[in-house]
Structure 1
Amino acid sequence: MARHDASELAHRLGREAEAVCKHYLSNGHRAGRYWVVGNAQNSPGRSMFVRLTGPESGKGAAGKYTDAATGEHGDLLDIIRESCGLVDFKDVAEEARSFLSLPRHEPDPAPKPRSGTAPTGSPEAARRLFAMAQPISRTVVETHLRKRAITALHDTGSLRFHPRCYYRPEGGGPTETWPAMIAAVTDLGGIQTGAHRTWLLPDGSEKAPVETPRRAMGNLLGHGVRFGMAQDVLAAGEGIETVLSARSGLPNMPMLAALSAAHLAAILFPTTLRRLYIVRDSDPAGDGARDSLVERARSVGIEAVVLSSMLGDFNEDLRQLGIDALRAALRVQVAPEDVDRFLAA
């Protein structure tokens, strides 16, 4: 879709926001100025709010939605895409045009996902995206990580490369494609429940110049991106690059990236876990996650040890101070019995 086409369709749908919601989100209901439903896949519930009135564009525009459970937000074109299980944005545009030609007084029942498709944002869609990607060796992803001084790339099967991953601007506009790092989010049993996308420049030098270069999909709560399988010891942090940087100095320690401070605080513990290292981010959200995770771990008899960076985060330590300084800083923070077991020589 051209930018003008997408914007015009979004504006027209916004003028009919309540009719759109009745049609595609039939399991919801109107509550004041909002349509309330479980999610954009039309599940029953009350966590997603679609604004029914407001300007055509900008803050507070009619048709904009927020899912309080996941933090996801978008517009009515996104709702059409997700409720219908569409992948190609050409199909989204055709569906929107078809809807706009329907009489307003008799909206059709909410359409069911097409056979063979998975609702966008669902765990199944996350699994399909990961399956479509390729190993990171000799790709833009490996280039990007090495430019961040991350060279310990063993046991990174949870990371893959997608050469042309769709990016949908949150404020509307044409769909873009960028290279992306795709990370599998898995549960304690190794079952994939979600995926995390990091869009990159084609040369891997930086993240793509988009508003939100990182986005997650699927079921994340309690799970994470895993590097190695944890038994009695695990290190957990927020971001993938932060965790991989700490892993450069502790190459034999199983680690997990929870993808956000809130999700870090809620990770599930393996039944065999006895010691948890918390790879701390130096900010208020990181402090809150640390405190909550320490309390949860200790309440079930797991020793909690906080690993603190010297600078802003562990990747900054790695890039600016070097691997030897990072290794020395970690050596004095890990338990003595874990030095020989997990620390690089």
Structure 2
Amino acid sequence: MTGPAAALAHRLARDAEAVCRHYLSNGRREGRYWLVGDVENTPGRSLFVRLTGPQSGKGAAGKWTDAATGDHGDLLDLIAANQRLTTLRDTLDEARDFLRLPRPEPTPWTKAEPAPQGSPEAARRLWEITSPIAGTLAEAYLRNRGITDLRNCANLRFHPRCWYRPNEDDGPGTRDAWPTLIAAIRSGDGALTGVHRTWLSPDGDGKAPIATPRRAMGHLLGNGVRFGVADDVMAAGEGIETILSLRQVMPALPMIAGLSANHLAALLLPGSLRRLYLARDDDPAGRAAVETLATKARDSGIEVLTLDALLGDFNEDLRRLERDDLARAVAPQLAPDDVDRFLVMLGREAG
């Protein structure tokens, strides 16, 4: 950038905090950054504006990035997007008008209190700086697992470098940050109560080579990772990939992943539920969890049907069988009216 635009961008960068306070008033300063939801001044923490730094180059003041969209630029770009200006001339005029305004006194910065480790607040802060999974390593990882239909999966997002705390089972020199599939854990009313992290290898071909590539944080008891809004019929299972595999043949059936056998057993069921499908893992803990939740559901007047994989689990079925073969294997385990209602086959009908 050269000429008047470059000169204005540099002047704006010298007063970056004032620019943010004027155009992004719903944000706040944290250290050397101004954090807000997006260029349109939505509350949140996805967009970072650097307030201090050199005049140009790496780490320059006034540079911003939206972690949710990948958009970035300088303060002229931010003003144009914020004010929805479509020409450079209008953007420069707006910047000149701003620079003639009296500068408000910057308020003293106080560092935000750190969220307790593993708390719902820590989970919320992490969720706010994730981005949609489309086109990311998280999407590549799921596709490598045979999971290609990711419609209505807003509770899955991506973080390019999520912190990982190595433990005694990790080798020396284990990296402390990896690309990560982030899943929102929500209560029945949709409130975020935690997140689940799956750390990935940098090529997206599998999970990261660490001792515990899956960890959850926040309040899990009674809650889970939800796909769709449950009404009269829903399915539940332990793992996210188990549920996503079943969604490849039943994308309209609301489902929830409990994330572990113990948490699946403690899942809170909606009052409107009339039929519950339980994807059963073929191990003692999985069978016990299904039986516990099934008993609780039946005591509430809910019909319970179990779903069993042909091979080791439903993701193995998905990867080793044709999708229609998986649908045909699931069909006899469904209530007859749910076959037409939920089951999708690429070729012929399930019957």
TM-score (ref. length: structure 1) = 0.66
Compute the displacement of 1:124 (Å): 0.7
Which whole-Å deviations, capped at 9, do the CAs of 1:144-187 have from their partners, x for residues lacking one?
00000011201110000000001111228766110000000000
Compute the displacement of 1:317 (Å): 0.3
Which whole-Å deviations, capped at 9, do the CAs of 1:235-284 have from their partners, x for residues lacking one?
00001001100111111100000000110011001010010100111111
- Give the whole-Å Cα distance in 2 for the aligned partners of 1:276 and 1:210: 35
The aligned counterpart of 1:157 is: 154
Amino acid across the alignment from 2:220? L
- Give the whole-Å Cα distance in 1 for the aligned partners of 2:128 and 2:144: 26
For 1:1-345, list aligned pairs within 5 A. 115-171=112-168, 176-345=176-345
Amino acid across the alignment from 1:118? A
Amino acid across the alignment from 1:263? H
- Give the whole-Å Cα distance in 2 for the aligned partners of 1:283 and 1:258: 16
Aligned CA RMSD, in angstroms, stands at: 1.5
- Give the whole-Å Cα distance in 1 for the aligned partners of 2:312 and 2:275: 25
- Give the whole-Å Cα distance in 2 for the aligned partners of 1:303 and 1:152: 28
Compute the displacement of 1:118 (Å): 1.1
Amino acid across the alignment from 1:117? P
Structure 1's unaligned 5+ residue stretches are 1-113
Compute the displacement of 1:116 (Å): 3.7
SS at match of 2:139: helix
- Give the whole-Å Cα distance in 1 for the aligned partners of 2:339 and 2:319: 23
TM-score (ref. length: structure 2) = 0.65
- Give the whole-Å Cα distance in 2 for the aligned partners of 1:280 and 1:249: 17
- Give the whole-Å Cα distance in 1 for the aligned partners of 2:141 and 2:179: 11
- Give the whole-Å Cα distance in 2 for the aligned partners of 1:327 and 1:203: 30
Compute the displacement of 1:324 (Å): 1.1
Amino acid across the alignment from 1:186? R
Which whole-Å deviations, capped at 9, do the CAs of 1:97-123 have from their partners, x for residues lacking one?
xxxxxxxxxxxxxxxxx7342111000
For these two proteins, the number of residue pairs brought into alignment is 233
Structure 2's unaligned 5+ residue stretches are 1-110, 346-351
- Give the whole-Å Cα distance in 2 for the aligned partners of 1:294 and 1:285: 14
- Give the whole-Å Cα distance in 1 for the aligned partners of 2:310 and 2:337: 23
The aligned counterpart of 1:99 is: none
- Give the whole-Å Cα distance in 1 for the aligned partners of 2:322 and 2:122: 39
Q: In percent, how many aligned pairs have the same letter? A: 57
- Give the whole-Å Cα distance in 2 for the aligned partners of 1:121 and 1:314: 30
- Give the whole-Å Cα distance in 2 for the aligned partners of 1:308 and 1:140: 30
Q: Which has the larger radius of gyration?
A: 2
- Give the whole-Å Cα distance in 1 for the aligned partners of 2:151 and 2:276: 21
